[in-house]
Each structure stands twice: as structure tokens, then as C-alpha cells.
Amino acid sequence: MSEIETQVEEQLEIAARIIADASYVIALVGAGMSKESGIPTFRGGDGLWDKQGEPPMDGYQRFLEDPAGWMAERKAQAERGSDFGRAIEEAKPNPGHFALAEMERLGYLQHIITQNIDNLHQEAGSTAITEIHGNR
């Protein structure tokens, strides 16, 4: 076993002890959790915002100025679809999702708080979930 593998194993053992000894464990997860399932992240070297640019943050103001135009734009975007939307529809839970579901089933994990909208935690079997941004 390499030095790095030994260090990783030691860190995992420490984390496992902390979790086993804790009275209430919450997993706070984000886009990195679903990347292995084929869903691109927003930030990072291959993130959507690096490829397509950050979206404008004036949507609410545009809605106030022209609600019908804003709605027409949103409808057109939905009809065109997106690589992100297709990735979400095609994604399946990965081993990380299943590991959290198993930790919940065994009583080691009490809750998941996620930014993800992909529903993969539910598909993997987790039930105690708070979705900050909702889901598909």
C-alpha cells in the first residue's frame, strides 16, 4: 500500500469513528456528489459556467420589467432543453448516493441537506432529505 493510500485509509478510519460516536450526523452535499453520475457541476475546470458563462443575475428585475417576455424566454429555454437537463434525466445514483442511503438505513446518518436538484438521493433510497433548491 502506498503512503497516500495509507493516509487515506487512516483518515477514513478517523471519519468512521467520528460518525459512529456522534449522536446526530448530517451530510451536506452539492454538485460534486452527482458528478460521478454524469451531471456537470457549475463551477470548476469543466463546469457549466466555465463553458457557457455565468448566467445573468438580473432575472427578477427582467421579470418585473416584462413578465410576459420573461415567461416567453423561460418557455423557449425549456423547449430547447439543455445538456444539463438531459444529464439529469439520464443520471443514475452512484456509489456515493447508495453509501449515504445505507448509512441512513443503518442509523449512522440522520439527514442529508443537498443543493442538488437531481433526485438521486431519493432514487438511492435516502428518505431524510432537505433540498435547498427543490428537485426536478
Annotated catalytic sites, by residue?
133
Question: What HEC string does 46-81 produce?
Answer: CCHHHHHCCCCCCHHHHHHHCHHHHHHHHHHHHHHC
